[in-house]
Chain A
Amino acid sequence: MQTKARTLPLSKRGMSFETFMWLFTRLSALAMYGFIFIGIVGALIMGAQNDMSFVEVLRWALMPNTGHVNYTNVPDLSPYATMFWRSVASLFFFTAIAHGVHGVVVILDDYFATEIQRKWIRIINISLFVIITPIGLYVIWFG
C-alpha cells in the first residue's frame, strides 16, 4: 500500500506548500553539493594542495569566505577574495539559510504542537532570518 502512495504522480497528489518545501529541501541540498564541489575544485586550482590541509579545504568549501583561509599557510589571500568567490559564497549562503530556516521549523513543529507555539516558532525563525541574512552578506563582502 505504501509503495503505491509513494509512486502516485504529482498531478494526482497536488502541489501543497509542504510538498513544494519537501522538493525544495532536496533540490537545495543538491545545489549545495554543487557549491561544495566548486569550492574544493577552486581551492585545488589555487594551489591548496601545498598550503592547506584536508579540514582547511573542507572549511573553505563549506563557505568560500576569505576568513576561512586566514589561519592556513596560503601566502597570498587575494585569489580567495575575488568577486567570483564572494558571489559563490553569497549564493551558497542564501541556499543554506532557506534550507535551514525551513528545516528548523520542521524539527520544532514535532516538539511543539499547539497553534500558538507554532506561530511563535515561525515568528522567531523568520525574524532571525531577516536579521542574520544582511549581517552574513556584510561579513562575506566586507570581511
Chain B
Amino acid sequence: MSDRNVSLSSALKYKGQGPYLTFILHRIGGSMIAIFVTLHILGTFFEMIGWQIGDLITDIYISPPFQIVFMFGMLFHIINGMRITILDLFPTKLIPYHRQAIVIEWIIFILVYGFAVVTTITTTIARMS
C-alpha cells in the first residue's frame, strides 16, 4: 500500500504545467460526473415514484447555468480520456509527443465546448418562445 498522502488543497496549489492541469481537471471532471450521474438517477427515480425532491434535482440539472458548468467537466473528461487512451495504446510512438497531444486536445475541447455552450444558450432562447 502506498504511503502517498497529499491534501486536496496542496494538490491544487502544486505549480505543475500543462500535463498536471489535464490530470487534475480529469479528476475534477470525473468526480463531477460520478456525483451528477448518481443524483440524476436518484432524481429521475424519485420523480417516477412521485417524490417532490426528484423535481427539485431535475430542475437544477435542466437549468442552463448548471449545464454549462457541468459540460466543462464532462467534455473535458471525455476529450482528455481520449488522448490518454490513444497515447497509451501506442506508448513508444506517441508518448514522446505528449505535450503536442495536449495542445491538440485543448483546441478540440475549446471548439466542442464552445459550440456546446452556444447551442445551450440558443436552444434555451428558442424553446422559451
Contact = CB atoms under 8 A, between A and B. Distances in A.
B116 A136 contact: no
A97 B88 CA distance: 22
Given A100-B37, A139-B41, A26 B2 contact: no
Given A7-B91, A7-B92, A111-B7, A67 B27 contact: no
Given A7-B91, A53-B119, A104-B34, A135 B45 contact: yes
A15 interface: no
Interface in A95-114: 96-97, 100, 103-104, 107, 109-113
A33 B5 CA distance: 33
Contacts of A36: 78
Interface in B94-129: 95, 115-116, 119-120, 122-123, 126-127
A111 B92 CA distance: 31
Interface of A: 3, 6-7, 26, 29-30, 33, 36, 53-56, 58, 62, 67, 71, 96-97, 100, 103-104, 107, 109-113, 115, 118, 128, 132, 135-136, 138-139, 142-143
12 contacts: A55-B120, A58-B116, A96-B37, A100-B37, A110-B4, A112-B5, A113-B2, A115-B1, A138-B45, A138-B48, A142-B48, A143-B48
Given A30-B85, A103-B30, 16 more contacts: A3-B92, A7-B92, A26-B84, A26-B88, A26-B89, A29-B81, A29-B82, A36-B78, A54-B115, A100-B34, A110-B4, A110-B11, A111-B8, A113-B1, A113-B5, A139-B48
Interface of B: 1-8, 11, 27, 30-31, 33-34, 37-38, 41-42, 44-45, 48, 62, 67, 71, 74, 78, 81-82, 84-85, 88-89, 91-92, 95, 115-116, 119-120, 122-123, 126-127
